[in-house]
Chains A and B, each alone.
Chain A
Amino acid sequence: MDNSLIQLAKQAILVPTGLQETDIHRVMDQLITGAVDDGDIYFQSSHYESWVMEDGIIKDASHNIEQGAGVRALSGEKTGLAYSDKIELNELLTATKNVKAIARQGQSAKVALSAAVHPTPLYPSVNPLNSLTDQEKVDLLLKIDTQTRQLDPRIEQVIVSLVGVQEHILIANQGNSLTGDVRPLVRMNVSVIVEDKGRREQGSMGGGARADYHYFLEQDRAMSFAKEAVRQALVNLEATPAPAGSMTVVLGSGWPGILLHEAIGHGLEGDFNRKGSSAFSGRIGERVASSLCTIVDNGTLAGRRGSLSVDDEGTATQNTMLIENGILKGYMQDKLNARLMGVQSTGNGRRESYAHTPLPRMTNTYMLPGESEPEEIIQSVKNGLYAKSFSGGQVDITSGKFVFSASEAYLIEDGKITRPVKGATLVGNGPEVLTRVSMVGNDLELDSGVGTCGKEGQSVPVGVGQPTLKIDGLTVGGTDV
């Protein structure tokens, strides 16, 4: 039930601190006066735990609590933020006084009030931390560690980690409307080091969801991460240096969608486009990709790591068309940038915590499937690179240049995947790269739930995905010149 989310959030945040709803109204009344156009109070209470198994033992584990409230005032293009770790009326009033300093001069352009959002929950209001007993968590890690070590005699080191978060969010918007959310998030990771004939390599695989720890027990997920990490490490033991230069690159399905996140996604965030600092600024309606490419940012997928029932400004998330059949359709917006660009928020206003300002951020960004069989795509390549998995990437949104590093890649020779190569970094130009997509697979896959995106020093969980893709001409940065 929608209202129950708000009740749960109130229960978690207001009840222990004794803060009343009338106190929140009082702060909001003081906040939205004078030249302040809009503003909000963001209450957060997060419980986080982490268990790590290394050398076959649980060396340490931690439990962490983060709570506080951030008060934000918006006036024109200006943002004021002040926050406190104490959820108390006096602290909120002081913060309000501080943030109103931004609106000392200037005219007010009051924002039209919107009705309170009663989100449809996309994930259960569970507390992952209590979903298994501490003994059960320890037993799970022990079991994974033991079984992983039995997979191959070349395994030297196994590290298994388990992380769970429960976050309660309460957002007070103009017009005394309150929105709440209860956000579970779990993640598990297995990394291994293998050694053979004096050569060492690593492999790592993880997954997660907005769910509780039982997620890892279903479909034998935990062990599938371990098997995948070992497989990857063993492949890398055989890898030879990657080639250097421009060539045809086939990207695997799933996590390689990080390409879309870096090369396209960041450049389509509203703030950069409002400021004209993105290589995609002012290009709505133009062709930015081959007609095979349709890309969305979808915050509404049930249970996904990048999904949110409401964003951090209290706007319901949505499925936003970014690129349709190669044509740029839209940007991802938070409230501030939407207002300044004369459009509606797309539910992409996200913040790392109460101590950070919201920014337009991605949720789950992926390309829709095409019509080619993945095998057919590989067969069509005479000489090229097949990049199956990646370790991460980065983009300069102004020049459009992006980089990402393959953690598992193979040469394609005469339409066949042949030998594994190591150290393949891909570089390219965001607005150009998708114009060279010549085949799109029918095998759309989303990543396993491990993505974290950084922007202006703020980290938020995200999802990516794509079908198998063929790009005609991308620079591969190996050592074999």
Chain B
Amino acid sequence: MQTEQEIQRLETIIHGLLEEARNQGASSASAGLSVDNGLSVSVRLGEVETIENHCSQGLGVSVYFGQTKGSASSTDISEKSIKETVAAACSIARYTSEDSYGGLPDADKLATEFNDLDLYHPWDIDAEEAITLATDCENSARQYHSDISNSEGASVDSYSGIHIFGNSLGFLHGYASTRHSLSCSVIGEREGAMERDYWYSVARNKQDLESTEFIGQKAAERTIQRLGARGLSSRKCPVIYSAEIASSLIGSFLGAISGGSLYRKSSFLLDSLDTQVFPDFMRLYEQPHLLGALGSSMYDAEGVSTRANEIVSAGVLNTYLLSSYSARKLGMQTTGHAGGVRNLCVEAGDHNLAQLLKQMDTGLLVTELMGQGVNPVTGDYSRGAAGFWVEQGEIQYPVQEITIAGNLKDMFQHILAVGNDIEYRGNIRTGSILVEEMAIAGE
């Protein structure tokens, strides 16, 4: 098979690169290489807007001279460039400091099993077919409602890539993966005010993409629902984070328990291991080997094997997220989280979104967050928001130009429920999340 041969060819390059590092005097080294190909097509108001052919490659190398480290990267993977890139990394390593926590992972932590995780499903699509799909998608959005007045277009993206990673401890592995997506964004107008919203679908296999009709209609439906948005007076009330944005809340949690934040003391969850960080009904677990999932991998960014993890059970934090470096800094063992979590799942409750609204009774359903507004050191949280005001469990009207604020540590402790409307489009899988109380600022 052609892909297998290409993987072998690229593995040979990494093998040669590691040898070059040794020849230039490095005591150890690691290197990665990626080759990506893709097609992006966008259509707006029924006409082709852009066709982009993507074809990129890049390599990166880190070398160690004892306990000093240097890194370099290049988009040129020719033999000459490899020599130069290794030389650049070696040159830098002469100026960096001795760091006793640095170095490659411990050899016994490296992955030795390489299951096929079903990540590679190339889509043999040409520009013409992509144009047809994007046009269908946009048409279904534009025909959805007479208030859809304009469009930002629909697009089809298809990427396939090969990623190789190796180190001087003998680790060398490559795999191919694909990622396809369909998206649509339209504008609605009512009484002179415009609103825009979008929907997208993303998958390793094109067969798992939602239909063009569904995506277009969903984009239009979401846009129409926002029309006529009002402000809201300042108040305290319960807040539901809808599933598609709830992942950002969980993302803030993951950032706070990651090794880099902890050893820098830039986390609001220092010394939280084995303590209650969520209510006792909450469970967060990780499934890195799920077949065909977007976040799946057999090993982390430094080749350490990944494994299923119970990160939070009964609301108690069982583990930090550590790389070899942050683990050594904290006097612990790597948890295989260099580069982050892989398919982090928040255990779903029994309720769907409609039932969560009933449970909340009166409060705010947030469907969009804007701006940064999260202080990772203190957990202070204040972000721009848009969504819907809810009374007696029913959506009353769209709201915007408000902020929602609180402190993350506190907000996590006061989660009342997690919905079963799980969002599968990212690396964090969660349903909608109901928080007991937040401060709303408005007009």
A396–B223 Cα distance when bound, in Å, is 13
| Residues of chain B within 8 A of A63, CB atoms compared | 71-73, 88-89, 91-92
Known: A81-B51, A398-B195. A478 touches B370 (CB 8 A): no
A101–B402 Cα distance when bound, in Å, is 46
User: What's the nearest-Cβ distance from chain B to residue A69, in Å?
Assistant: 11
Give the contacting residue for B55; candidates A83, A276, A429; CB below 8 A.
A83
**Chain A 49-74: CB-based contact to B (< 8 A → 1; otherwise 0):** 00000100111111111111000000
Instruction: Assess whether A396 is in contact with B265, with CB atoms less than 8 Å apart.
Output: no
Known: A244-B440, A477-B384, A479-B439. A60 touches B71 (CB 8 A): yes
Q: Does A427 contact B (CB under 8 A)?
A: yes
Instruction: Assess whether A425 is in contact with B384, with CB atoms less than 8 Å apart.
Output: yes
Instruction: Assess whether B382 is in contact with A425, with CB atoms less than 8 Å apart.
Output: yes
Which of B127, B384, B402 has the most chain A CB atoms closer than 10 A to its own CB? B384
Instruction: Assess whether B403 is in contact with A403, with CB atoms less than 8 Å apart.
Output: yes
Instruction: Assess whether A277 is in contact with B196, with CB atoms less than 8 Å apart.
Output: yes
* 8 Å CB interface, B410-443 against A: 439-443
A275–B44 Cα distance when bound, in Å, is 9
A277–B187 Cα distance when bound, in Å, is 7
A67–B98 Cα distance when bound, in Å, is 32
**Chain A 76-97: CB-based contact to B (< 8 A → 1; otherwise 0):** 1111111111100000000100
Q: Does A134 contact B (CB under 8 A)?
A: yes
| Residues of chain B within 8 A of A68, CB atoms compared | 56, 75
Give the contacting residue for A475; candidates B48, B76, B383, B443; CB below 8 A.
B443
Instruction: Assess whether B49 is in contact with A424, with CB atoms less than 8 Å apart.
Output: no
* 8 Å CB interface, A382-435 against B: 391-394, 396, 398-399, 401-405, 422-425, 427-429
**Chain B 233-261: CB-based contact to A (< 8 A → 1; otherwise 0):** 01110000000000000000000000000
User: What's the nearest-Cβ distance from chain B to residue A481, in Å?
Assistant: 5
Give the contacting residue for A403; candidates B72, B383, B439, B440; CB below 8 A.
B383
| Residues of chain A within 8 A of B62, CB atoms compared | 60
A195–B266 Cα distance when bound, in Å, is 11
Q: Does A157 contact B (CB under 8 A)?
A: yes
**Chain B 368-381: CB-based contact to A (< 8 A → 1; otherwise 0):** 00111101011011
A461–B45 Cα distance when bound, in Å, is 31
Instruction: Assess whether B74 is in contact with A102, with CB atoms less than 8 Å apart.
Output: no
Instruction: Assess whether B403 is in contact with A59, with CB atoms less than 8 Å apart.
Output: no
Known: A157-B266, A475-B442. A277 touches B373 (CB 8 A): no
Instruction: Assess whether B402 is in contact with A277, with CB atoms less than 8 Å apart.
Output: no
**Chain B 89-111: CB-based contact to A (< 8 A → 1; otherwise 0):** 10110111111001000000000
A432–B371 Cα distance when bound, in Å, is 19
Give the contacting residue for A480; candidates B99, B264, B375, B439; CB below 8 A.
B439
* 8 Å CB interface, A427-481 against B: 427-429, 475-481
Contact size range, B: 35 or more
| Residues of chain B within 8 A of A78, CB atoms compared | 47-51
User: What's the nearest-Cβ distance from chain B to residue A45, in Å?
Assistant: 10
Known: A245-B234, A245-B441, A394-B371. A275 touches B150 (CB 8 A): yes
Give the contacting residue for B49; candidates A77, A399, A425, A475; CB below 8 A.
A77
User: What's the nearest-Cβ distance from chain A to residue B338, in Å?
Assistant: 14
Give the contacting residue for A57; candidates B99, B226, B404; CB below 8 A.
B99
Instruction: Assess whether A201 is in contact with B50, with CB atoms less than 8 Å apart.
Output: no
Instruction: Assess whether A202 is in contact with B266, with CB atoms less than 8 Å apart.
Output: yes
Instruction: Assess whether B52 is in contact with A57, with CB atoms less than 8 Å apart.
Output: no
Q: Is the interface of B mostly helix, strand, loop or mixed?
A: strand
User: What's the nearest-Cβ distance from chain B to residue A308, in Å?
Assistant: 22
* 8 Å CB interface, B48-72 against A: 48-58, 62, 69-72
Give the contacting residue for B371; candidates A57, A67, A403, A422; CB below 8 A.
A403
Instruction: Assess whether B384 is in contact with A81, with CB atoms less than 8 Å apart.
Output: no
| Residues of chain A within 8 A of B76, CB atoms compared | 65, 67, 85-86
Q: Which residue of A lies closest to B405 (CB)?
A: A479
Q: Does B401 contact A (CB under 8 A)?
A: yes
Instruction: Assess whether A82 is in contact with B53, with CB atoms less than 8 Å apart.
Output: yes
Instruction: Assess whether B69 is in contact with A60, with CB atoms less than 8 Å apart.
Output: yes
A404–B371 Cα distance when bound, in Å, is 6
Instruction: Assess whether A193 is in contact with B441, with CB atoms less than 8 Å apart.
Output: no
Q: Does B349 contact A (CB under 8 A)?
A: no
User: What's the nearest-Cβ distance from chain A to residue B200, in Å?
Assistant: 13
User: What's the nearest-Cβ distance from chain A to residue B282, in Å?
Assistant: 23
* 8 Å CB interface, A82-122 against B: 82-86, 95, 98-99, 101-102
Q: Is the interface of A mostly helix, strand, loop or mixed?
A: strand
Q: Which residue of A lies closest to B96 (CB)?
A: A58
Give the contacting residue for B401; candidates A81, A193, A195, A401; CB below 8 A.
A401
Instruction: Assess whether A134 is in contact with B50, with CB atoms less than 8 Å apart.
Output: no
User: What's the nearest-Cβ distance from chain A to residue B239, in Å?
Assistant: 13
User: What's the nearest-Cβ distance from chain B to residue A319, in Å?
Assistant: 29
A233–B375 Cα distance when bound, in Å, is 12
Give the contacting residue for A200; candidates B378, B384, B442; CB below 8 A.
B378
Q: Does B1 contact A (CB under 8 A)?
A: no
A424–B375 Cα distance when bound, in Å, is 11
Instruction: Assess whether A422 is in contact with B378, with CB atoms less than 8 Å apart.
Output: yes
Instruction: Assess whether A101 is in contact with B127, with CB atoms less than 8 Å apart.
Output: yes
User: What's the nearest-Cβ distance from chain B to residue A357, in Å?
Assistant: 6
Instruction: Assess whether B195 is in contact with A424, with CB atoms less than 8 Å apart.
Output: no
Instruction: Assess whether A277 is in contact with B152, with CB atoms less than 8 Å apart.
Output: yes
Q: Does A135 contact B (CB under 8 A)?
A: yes
Instruction: Assess whether A403 is in contact with B234, with CB atoms less than 8 Å apart.
Output: no
Instruction: Assess whether B405 is in contact with A244, with CB atoms less than 8 Å apart.
Output: yes
| Residues of chain B within 8 A of A246, CB atoms compared | 442-443
**Chain B 133-165: CB-based contact to A (< 8 A → 1; otherwise 0):** 000000000000000001010000000000000
* 8 Å CB interface, B114-144 against A: 127
Q: Does B400 contact A (CB under 8 A)?
A: yes
Which of B57, B58, B370, B440 has the most chain A CB atoms closer than 10 A to its own CB? B370
Known: A277-B194, A478-B405, A481-B439. A81 touches B74 (CB 8 A): no
Q: Does A321 contact B (CB under 8 A)?
A: no
User: What's the nearest-Cβ distance from chain A to residue B131, in Å?
Assistant: 10
Known: A59-B102, A84-B55. A403 touches B378 (CB 8 A): no
Q: Does B393 contact A (CB under 8 A)?
A: no
Q: Does A228 contact B (CB under 8 A)?
A: no
Known: A65-B85, A403-B370, A481-B234. A427 touches B71 (CB 8 A): no
Instruction: Assess whether A245 is in contact with B442, with CB atoms less than 8 Å apart.
Output: yes
| Residues of chain A within 8 A of B380, CB atoms compared | 422-423, 479
A403–B403 Cα distance when bound, in Å, is 9
A423–B375 Cα distance when bound, in Å, is 8
Q: Does B340 contact A (CB under 8 A)?
A: no
Give the contacting residue for B405; candidates A65, A199, A425, A428; CB below 8 A.
A425
Q: Does A279 contact B (CB under 8 A)?
A: yes
Instruction: Assess whether A135 is in contact with B370, with CB atoms less than 8 Å apart.
Output: no
Known: A62-B92, A399-B194. A481 touches B441 (CB 8 A): yes
Instruction: Assess whether B53 is in contact with A479, with CB atoms less than 8 Å apart.
Output: no
Give the contacting residue for A80; candidates B50, B231, B236, B405; CB below 8 A.
B50
Instruction: Assess whether B96 is in contact with A478, with CB atoms less than 8 Å apart.
Output: no
User: What's the nearest-Cβ distance from chain B to residue A478, in Å?
Assistant: 6
Q: Does B406 contact A (CB under 8 A)?
A: yes
Instruction: Assess whether B74 is in contact with A65, with CB atoms less than 8 Å apart.
Output: yes
| Residues of chain B within 8 A of A249, CB atoms compared | none
Q: Which residue of B lies closest to A404 (CB)?
A: B371
* 8 Å CB interface, A30-62 against B: 54, 57-62
User: What's the nearest-Cβ distance from chain B to residue A420, in Å?
Assistant: 13
Instruction: Assess whether A81 is in contact with B378, with CB atoms less than 8 Å apart.
Output: no
Instruction: Assess whether A81 is in contact with B53, with CB atoms less than 8 Å apart.
Output: yes
A174–B98 Cα distance when bound, in Å, is 54
Chain B residues proximal to chain A, CB less than 8 Å: 44, 47-58, 62, 69-76, 81, 85, 88-89, 91-92, 94-99, 102, 127, 150, 152, 187, 193-196, 226, 229, 231, 234-236, 264-266, 370-373, 375, 377-378, 380-384, 386, 400-407, 439-443
Beyond known contacts A59-B96, A391-B372: 7 more, CB 8 A cutoff:
A65-B85, A66-B74, A244-B441, A393-B372, A425-B373, A425-B405, A475-B402
A-B pairs with lowest CB-CB distance, top 5: A477-B403, A403-B384, A403-B371, A57-B97, A244-B441
